[in-house]
Amino acid sequence: MSALLQIRNLRVAIEGKEILRGVSLDVYAGEVHAIMGPNGSGKSTLAAVLAGREEYEVLEGEVLFDGQNLLEMEPEERARAGLFLAFQYPVEIPGVSMATFLRTALNEVRKARGQEPLDPIQFLSYARERMSWLGMEPDFLQRAVNEGFSGGEKKRGEIFQLLLLEPRLAILDETDSGLDIDALKIVASGVNRMRSPERSFIVITHYQRLLNYIVPDVVHVLFDGRIVRTGGRELALELEERGYDWLRSEGELVLPTLGEQ
């Protein structure tokens, strides 16, 4: 069986500067991959390109999602096909309630899956159940999208959306940053609840701590636009002890990814 997500030699530039310099990665259904790496190494860029941000220029490479050529799809088509990005910096939309926003989104995704749309009442009970999993306040749905949310509330909101939309691949971009330990546990429990043999995760993080709660199958180190090392969860511990400097010399090496082993 081929991987749910296949990235082949992806090179990406922004404003003429090459940020991703040949990334290859296979993520199989059911796997959780962690991507770590220093600031500016290109982690968010990878997430953004996968989600379809238009200002990035793809110089080379190919990305297949469930066998489809992902790079040719519009962002909303990718979302409807089951690709979800939990944003590092969720955007505020004044005046638009979370309920309106999420019901619109959910019904688009459901339509793509061949399901009937949910009416407001069905949506409410569906959403409330998932809110309770994350211990969220009932007024959450009435608030404007991300407006005036604390950092932690925004992150929790992203995970809530993940629970709601039930994607096939979720990319979490530093969802743990800015969370206190209790919130971190809640977020992790939400993600763990969603783990299934059909669903995959790419978890971008700086901290081994998150990986205690969301235990990854594979850990990658992205360094200067390349994956310089791939290993099991013990790699994350090693990074925590030693930092990234010792990998600098490996920046030039091309390492096999797990999928090819």
Partner 1 sequence: MPVQQDEVLQQVTQSEYKYGFVANIEEEIAPVGLNEDIIRFIWERKGEPEWMLEWRLRAYRHWKTMQEPRWAKVVYPPIDYQAISYYAAPKKRHVQSLDEIDPEIRRMFEKLGIPLEEQKLLAGVAVDAVLDSASVATTFKEKLAELGIIFCSMSEAIQKYPELVQKYLGSVVPYTDNFFAALNSAVFSDGSFVYVPPGVRCPMELSTYFRINAARTGQFERTLIIADEGAYVSYLEGCTAPMRDENQLHAAVVELIALDGAEIKYSTVQNWYPGDREGRGGIYNFVTKRGICLGRESKISWTQVETGSAITWKYPSVILKGEGSVGEFYSVAVTNHRQQADTGTKMIHIGRHTRSRIVSKGIAAGHSSNTYRGLVRILRGADYARNYTQCDSLLIGSSCGAHTFPYIEVLNPTAVTEHEAMTSKIGEDMLFYCRQRGISEEDAVALIVNGYCREVLLHLPMEFAVEAQKLLAISLEGSVG
Ligand X SMILES: Nc1ncnc2c1ncn2[C@@H]1O[C@H](COP(=O)(O)OP(=O)(O)OP(=O)(O)O)[C@@H](O)[C@H]1O
Residues 41 to 60: which contact ligand X by CB under 6 A?
41-45
CB of 122 to partner 1, least distance (A): 12
CA distances from residue 190 to 45, 136, 205, 237 in whole angstroms, order as listed:
25, 12, 17, 23
44 touches Mg ion by CB under 5 A = yes
Nearest to 216 by CA among 195, 242, 245: 195
Q: How far is the CB of 40 from ligand X (least distance, A)?
A: 4
Task: Establish if 107 lies at the interface with partner 1 (CB under 8 A).
Answer: yes
**DSSP-assigned states of every residue in 180-231:** -HHHHHHHHHHHHHH-BTTBEEEEE-S-HHHHHHS--SEEEEEETTEEEEEE
Determine, following the binding rule CB under 6 A, whether residue 19 of this chain makes contact with ligand X.
yes
The enclosing H or E element of 168 equals none
Please tell me whether residue 15 binds ligand X under the rule CB under 6 A: yes
Residues 6-45, mask of contacts with partner 1 (x by CB under 8 A) = ----------------------------------------
Site track for partner 1 across 163-202, x = CB under 8 A: --x-------------------------------------
Question: According to CB under 6 A, which one of 8, 11, 13, 14 is a site residue for ligand X?
Answer: 14
Residue 91 binding partner 1, by CB under 8 A: yes
d(CA 45, CA 5): 17
Closest CA to 127 of 146, 112, 106: 106
Looking up tokens 């997430």, which residue turns up? 47
Q: What is the size of the binding site for partner 1 (CB under 8 A)?
A: 39
- By CB under 5 A, is residue 6 in contact with Mg ion? no
Closest CA to 88 of 199, 177, 216, 194: 177
58 binds, among ligand X, Mg ion, partner 1, none (CB under 5 to 8 A by kind): none
Q: Decide: is 114 part of the binding site for partner 1 (CB under 8 A).
A: no
Conformational region of residue 210, where left means phi above 0, alpha means psi within -120 to 50, and beta covers everything else: alpha
Handedness of CA 149, 154, 157, 161 (dihedral sign): positive
Instruction: Tell how many helices (H) and how many strands (E) occur in the chain.
Output: 8, 12
- What CA–CA distance (Å, rounded) separates 207 from 219? 12
**Closest CB to partner 1 among 19 and 36?**
19
* Contact partner at residue 73 from partner 1, Mg ion, ligand X, none, CB < 5 to 8 Å by partner kind: none
- Residues engaged in binding ligand X (CB under 6 A): 14-15, 19, 37, 39-45
- Residues engaged in binding partner 1 (CB under 8 A): 51-55, 74-76, 78-80, 84-85, 87, 90-91, 93-97, 99-105, 107-109, 112, 117, 120, 142, 144-145, 161, 165
- Residues engaged in binding Mg ion (CB under 5 A): 43-44
